[in-house]
Amino acid sequence: MRRGIPTITTTMTDVSATRAAMRLQSWLSPSFPVGAYSYSHGVEAAIEAGLVTDAETLRGWIEGLVRFGSGASDAILLSEAWRHASAADAEALGALSEFATALIPTAELRLEALSQGTAFVKTVSAAWGDIKQIALPPGPPLPVAYGAVTAAAGIPLELAGPLYVQAFVHNIVSAAVRAVPLGQTDGQRVIAALEACVDEAWRASEECGIGDIGTSALMAEWSSMQHEAMDGRLFRS
């Protein structure tokens, strides 16, 4: 057993489709206390630089992330975490968490992923006592934490996965609505326009494994680095 990862016996539970949907709606809600509203995933700096200025440029920015950037990587990581948790393989989950953390390209994105992952596990553990999570190392990135917890809760990957990617889109749109500023209706138009992208990206990720992870959304990473030096920021990333 990897040092620092406690051994916990996990019992997989089966839940009805209705209860699974209810739990995911709670866990992926903007009001779920992981601090998602505090992060923009670098889009605030992209707005400051004039790269995202309206609904259309926002749609293109997010589509790039979902197809070629962190959104695509997160989909693969959560799938791997779900499979390891389903197999009650704490050793593999620990290694995956370390690997996922090493992939994060900037300090602020690391803060975003690890802080939310830690808060996610803590909150689910406190409020849903019937779920016995498999052991996770301290500070797991959010996609790893989410994949492991949804597996332990008996929620099918084909339901949990695409809804996570959709929530990723929602969070960035929410940040842009506040920072562009962008109207609420335009924000919803962007979300609607990206439905097919989310579906296609998730389906593509189902054929992938860890060896397929790679990103080409370089401007998103550049924006995150620029955000670290911004004054008067609304968001932590």
DSSP, residue by residue, 32-88: STT-GGG--TTHHHHHHTTS--SHHHHHHHHHHHHHHSHHHHHHHHHHHHHHHHHTT
The pLDDT assigned to 132 comes to 73
**pLDDT tens, the chain, 237 aa long:** 333 333 333 344 557 899 999 999 999 999 999 999 999 999 999 999 999 999 999 999 999 999 999 999 999 999 999 999 999 999 999 999 999 999 999 999 999 999 999 999 999 999 998 887 667 888 999 999 999 999 999 999 999 999 999 999 999 999 999 999 999 999 999 999 999 999 999 999 999 999 999 889 999 999 999 999 998 889 999
Q: What are the pLDDT digits (tens) for 135-171?
A: 788 899 999 999 999 999 999 999 999 999 999 999 9
- Report how far residue 87's alpha carbon sits from residue 230's, in angstroms, rounded to the nearest whole number: 44
Residues with Cβ within 8 Å of residue 159, at least 6 apart in sequence = 17, 20, 21, 24
- Report how far residue 218's alpha carbon sits from residue 96's, in angstroms, rounded to the nearest whole number: 23
- DSSP 8-state secondary structure symbol assigned to residue 134: P
pTM as predicted: 0.92
Question: Which architecture, in CATH terms, is 42-212?
Answer: Orthogonal Bundle (1.10)
What tokens appear for 27 in the block?
Answer: 């866990």
Segments making up each domain of the chain, as ranges: 42-212
